[in-house]
Amino acid sequence: MIYKSVTATELGGPEVLQVTENELRAPAANEVRIRVLAAPVCRPDVTVRTGEALYTGTPLGQKTPFVPGYAVIGVVDAVGDEVPATDAQIGDRVGVLTVTGGYTEYLYWRSDRLIPVPETVDPAKAATIPLNYIVAYQSMHRAAQVEAGDTALIIGASGGIGTALLQLGKLADLTMYGLASPGKHDILIDYGATPIDYHTQDFVAVIQQAEPAGLDAIFDGMMTLDYIRRGLSLLRRGGTLVSYGEPAGFSALFRILATLVGVNLLPNGKSFKLYGTSSYFVFNQQPFMEDWATLFKLLEEGKIDPVIEKKFSLLEAAQANTLLESGCVTGNVVLVAPELL
C-alpha cells in the first residue's frame, strides 16, 4: 500500500515542496504508526525549507530531500510489538512534536514521545497546541511567570503564537498591548488588547505614555536586536522580556546572546530570556506534558479557541506555505486530512 508525503526536494521557496510516494510498512518494535489528521504550517517549516533554520545545528538546515512539518495530530492505526499498552493503543488520538516530518499522510514515531489528545476536540484546532500554544503558554507562565493585573506587550500579536498569547493573556487577566498592522487590529481588540500600528506608531513612545511605570512582561516573536533593545527599555524593575522564534543567522544569534548575558548580569532587575521548544523538550519532557494537558483541557472546555485563517488538504502544503509567507495571515494555517475540509 502507498501513502503520500510532501517532500522538500531542495532548499528554496514553496515550489520545492513536491508530493512523493512511500510504501506503507508495519511499525518497528517501539514505534506506532499514526494516520495524520492535521498538521500546522508554521514559521520553522519555512526557515528549514529555505535553509535559514538554526535549530538543526547548521545554517543550511536539513539535508534534502526531507519532509517538513513541525507537529501533527493523528490517530494510532498500528503499534509495534514492544509498545506498552500504557504508551499507545490502536485508535488513540495523539499529537507529536516532530520538528520535521509532519507533512505526511502517515507518520512513524516512538511510542514514548506521544502527546495524549482528547477525541472530542477539532483536529485542526488541536494542531495549534503542540507548537504555537505551548510556546505562548510557557513563555507566559513558566518564563515570565505573569500574575493577574500585570501589563504585557506582544510583539507580533496577530500570528499563530501572537493570537495564542492574546487568548491566554485574557484568561490570565493581563493588561495587554500588541503590535500588528492596521488590518489585524480588530482581533487584538476582541481579546482586550490595545493595538499599536508598528508601521506608523513608535511603540516605545506609545507604551511610555500609557504605562510610565514600565511593563511587567514583553513577548517578542521577531527576535531582532532592534525589537529586543527597544523592548528592554520598556520593562519595569523586575520585568521580563521573552524572545521566541529564530534569529536571522548565527551573527544575529551571537549578538542576541551577548545582549542576554549583559542584561541578566546588570543590577537593574530586568530579565531577558530566550525560549525554544525543541531543545527544551529533549532535555525535560515533564513540563511539556503537563502544559499540553492543561492546554488541551482549555481547548476541550472552550476557554481557548485557536484562530485559523485557512485549512488546506494535507498534500497542499506548497499552497499553504505560500499563504503563510504572504504576511496576510491572522492566526494559523493548518493542513488537514481531506475528510476534514
What is the C-alpha separation between 33 and 114, in angstroms, rounded?
11
Whether residues 249 and 161 fall in one domain: yes
Give me the domain span that covers residue 186: 131-278
Give the domain CATH number at 239.
Answer: 3.40.50.720
Is 287 part of any domain? Answer: no
Domain-embedded: residue 104: yes
- Domain check: are 110 and 146 in the same one? no
Claim to verify: residue 143 and residue 240 sit in the same structural domain? yes
In a domain, 288, yes or no: no
CA distance to 114, 202, 229, 294, per residue, from 134 (Å): 15, 30, 25, 10
CATH number at residue 322: 3.90.180.10
Instruction: Establish if 225 belongs to a structural domain.
Output: yes
* Residue 237: per-residue pLDDT: 95
> 119 and 156: one domain?
no
Q: What is the pLDDT of residues 25-47, one digit of tens each?
A: 999 999 999 999 999 999 999 99
Residue 286 in any domain: the answer is: no
Does 237 fall in a domain?
yes
**Is cis: bond before 116, omega within 30 of 0?**
no
Q: What's the total number of domains in the chain?
A: 2
pLDDT of residue 54: 55
Q: How far apart are CA 153 and CA 241, in angstroms?
A: 9
Whether residues 174 and 265 fall in one domain: yes
Specify whether 51 is located in the same domain as 109: yes
Q: Are residues 91 and 117 part of one domain?
A: yes
| pLDDT attached to residue 278 | 60
* Spans in the chain with pLDDT lower than 70: 54-61, 278-283
Residue 306 phi/psi, 5-degree rounding, is -55, 135
- Shared domain for 122 and 135, answered yes or no, is no
Is 261 found in the same domain as 233? yes
Per-residue CA distances from 316 to 14, 18, 191, 331 (Å): 10, 9, 31, 19
What is 299-330 written as a DSSP string?
A: HHTTS----EEEEEETT-HHHHHHHHHTT---
Total-model pTM = 0.94
94 and 139 share one domain: no
Distance from C-alpha of 334 to C-alpha of 124, rounded to nearest angstrom: 6
Query: Final residue of a domain: which of 278, 294, 322?
Result: 278
The per-residue DSSP string of 132-197 comes to IIHHHHHIIIIIS---TT-EEEEES-SSHHHHHHHHHHHHTT-EEEEEE-GGGHHHHHHTTPEEEE
Residue 183 included in any domain = yes
Is position 74 within any domain?
yes
